[in-house]
Structure formats: C-alpha cells, structure tokens
Amino acid sequence: MKTQCPNCKARFNANETSVGKQAKCPKCGQPFTIEAFIETPASPAKRGEPVAVEPPAKDVARPEAATKNPSTKSEILNKSQAPKPKIQNELETRRAGDDGYDNPIPEAAANGGAPPAKSAEPVETPVKMAEPMKEEKPESKAPSKTLSKAVFVYCWMALRIIAGILGLSGLMLAIRLTPNIKLGALAAFAAADVFLVCSVAIELMLFYRMWAAIGDDKASVSAAKAVGFLFIPVFNIYWALLMITGFVEDYNSFIHRRSVKTKDLPFALFLIYAFAFILAATVVTTPMVCVFAFVGLINRAFIGYPDSSWLLFFLAFAAGTAHFITYILVAIRTCDAINVLPETKGR
C-alpha cells in the first residue's frame, strides 16, 4: 500500500495494518497520519505528452442524396467494392482475430503507418517504507551520586548508640558472671555486634563513595583500593591514616582543578578522625567482635585486676566517644563537599 506525506508530498510504502497510525516522514521528519494514497492518472497535457489531433471526419453521403442522385450512389458502391489498402486489410484481420492470436494493433498501423509518438515517462523517486513514529518515552534519570546525611550521619549514629548500650549491658552482666547471667551476656554482646557491624559497613561505604566522587585520572587512590586495603592486617593501620588524610589533599586539588566554587576540606579535622578511627578499631571494634572468645575472662579480670580493667574500659569508652564525635563532623563535611560537585567525573 502507498501513502503520501502531506507536508513534502513524498510517497512511501506502508503496511495496510498501519492505516490511521502516526508516522514520521523519513524525508522531512514531520509526523503525519498514514492513509491510503490513490494515484489518479494524469492527463497527457499535464505529463507533457503531445495531444493527438484527430483529422476531420470525411463527409458521408446521406441516404437521401444517394437515392436522389443515382450516379452518386453507384460511385459509393464502386468505392466500397474497390480493393482495400494493405494496412487496412491487416487492421481488419487483427480486429477479427483471423490469425488466431489476440495481438494488439500496432500503433504504426493505427496511425496510418506513421511512427508512434513517444510519451514522456514519469520519473518516480525511490519509494521508502514509512516508519511508524515511535512513542517518546521519558528519559530515565541517572542514579543520584549525592551522599545522604540520613544514611551516613543519622543512621550511623543510631546504630552506634544502640551497639554501645547493648555492649555496656553485656559487660555489666559479664562482670557479675553466673551460670544464669552468662547466657544473657552472650545475647547482649551478639546483638551489639550486629549493630556494630552495620555501622562499620556504613562507614566503609562512605569511604568508597567519597573516593568515587573524585575518581578521575589524577586521583591518587581508587575507591576500591581505598576500602580494600583496610582489610589487610597490620598494614590497615597505616593505610587508614594515609587514605583518610589523602582524601583531603585529593579533594582540594580536584575542586581547584575543576574551578568548583566551594571551601577546602580541613586537613586537621580529618587527621584527628584518622587517629580516632584507628584507635577505636583497635580497642573497641576488634575486641567487641572477638568478645565471645574471652567473655569468661571478663569476670576474673575485674575481680583480680580491677584498676587495670576499669582503666582499659575507660580507654575504650574514650576512644569510642572520640571516634563517634569526629566521624559525625567528618561525615557532615564530606556529604556537603561531595554534593556540591558537578557531574564532571571522567572528563
């Protein structure tokens, strides 16, 4: 089926099932409704063909004149009995079908032997299929690269507070260690470890996201490397200090290189947080994860060495508090610093 664009008059092929649907013209790009195009034959004058002028018909003698003039009548009879020309005999034979074939009459014979006039052949442009116009779908938005304070600040705070309360409850039960209380202490430590591990996972996620935000070809550390090296024993102590303070230097260099109008991150705050992070991981996080191995020794330590035990407890509490406060400050500053960066990564 053929259809025609009403804007540029270009013709295309289309499926009959597409009638009534919207399509976009491949030639002019304008949308139009697909309808069947009925091609009307153009007159010879419009196509530039020569118009054949019929010769005037010869006067035929009326019957009245033939009856009145016997001589004229005899002349007409003699002319009808005269031998016909060869071309006229061929025409009559072809019309009558004497040769047994349904052959068309040659135009040269029909025109009295004159060559037929050539008609101007219409030149058709190549026909293209009319493509149905695709429905424009709303562009899907790219995933947000901003850092949410609700996750990296408030959620982390809630997890740490709950883990601290459960850990203190387990410690108090372990100091009074009795057969009935031991099970309660283990349950409290287990619940505290769950919340503690979740808070550590959020903290590691912050490290990954903040390095990924400035991860161009001039960054000194990749996001995967920044988090992965923290799981290497002993080396992770040095790496945590290098990675946290190195982020401040790389971020400040990044915003100067990209001409981002924002404040530099304070190196001193991140340096204090790096030491608090290392200390808390050493005297709080690691002992809490391994508490099930020495939960029975807690009662003996506080009974036999109360001063040293309480000193170690206050040291762990101070390290945890320092890490808690410095992380909140660093997380707030990091979220604000990353959220003002434009989408220029990878350029």
- Locate the domains of the chain by residue range: 149-339
CA distance 202 to 177: 33
Q: Are 188 and 173 in contact (CB under 8 A)?
A: yes
Q: Are 326 and 245 in contact (CB under 8 A)?
A: no
**3-class SS letters over 214-228:** CCCCCCCCCHHHHHH
Tens-digit pLDDT string for the chain (347 aa): 788 888 887 887 877 777 778 888 888 878 878 887 776 655 544 445 554 545 554 444 444 444 444 444 455 445 545 555 554 555 454 444 444 444 444 444 445 555 555 444 544 444 455 455 555 444 434 344 689 999 999 999 999 999 999 999 999 888 886 666 778 888 999 999 999 999 999 999 999 999 999 988 888 899 999 999 999 999 999 999 999 999 999 999 999 988 888 999 999 999 999 999 999 999 999 999 898 888 878 888 888 888 999 999 999 999 999 999 999 999 999 999 999 987 544 43
Q: Are strands 11-13 and 2-4 parallel, antiparallel or unpaired?
A: antiparallel
The number of helices, as runs of H, and strands, as runs of E, in the chain is 14, 5
Using DSSP, state whether 297 is helix, strand or coil.
helix
